[in-house]
Amino acid sequence: MQLVCANISMGYTVSVGGQELPGTFSGKQLSRGRTVSCAALEEIARDEAEPAEFSIRTRYSLRHPDGDVRLLTDALITSSPDVGRYCAVYTDGKHTGTVSDPGMLENSPLFSLHNYYCCLSSGKLELWPVYSYSGRSSDISAVCGAISVQAGKLT
């Protein structure tokens, strides 16, 4: 009995916005995730912002907490209505703009789909997820122009 009790770990399951995150988290991971997400929200949202309320439930297990802290922090940051997930676009290593949805690039009437896939497959086009304030305008015309210029260099 002593051996079993010595190996029991206490962890927490976390639900953010009604969605339960996979895995369990330690108290230290929860504290760190909240601290980091609050600091990020203050920087991104341009005013004081808090993550949405999250609920935790205690779990006892023979395994140590195995939750991904990056997933926890991401869920807390994106739970705020003041922050959104965007996509930074780089062509030939230079930042050309930010779009709210990378699917906009594939469906944009501003350039051909062939140019987009040509740049993407050559490695001259990179898409990176970023956080930004909600309501940020999209730089779709600048991004499409840069992709067209880069595609012209490749053909």
Digit-coded pLDDT (tens) for 20-60: 999 999 999 999 988 888 888 888 877 777 777 888 999 88
Q: Which region, left, alpha or beta, applies to residue 53 given φ > 0 means left and ψ of -120 to 50 means alpha?
A: beta
- pLDDT, position 22: 93
pLDDT of residue 26: 92
Domain extents in the chain: 2-81, 84-154
Please tell me the predicted confidence (pLDDT) of residue 89.
84
pLDDT at 21: 92
- Range among 9-13, 61-65, 90-94, 133-137 rated most confident: 9-13
User: pLDDT tens for residues 71-113?
Assistant: 999 998 888 888 888 888 888 788 888 888 777 766 665 555 5
Is residue 45 within 8 Å of residue 133, measured between CB atoms?
Answer: yes
pTM of the model: 0.72
pLDDT at 117: 63
Residue 98 · residue 88 · CB < 8 Å: yes
134: pLDDT confidence band, cut at 50, 70 and 90?
confident
Check: CB of residue 17 under 8 Å from CB of residue 53.
no
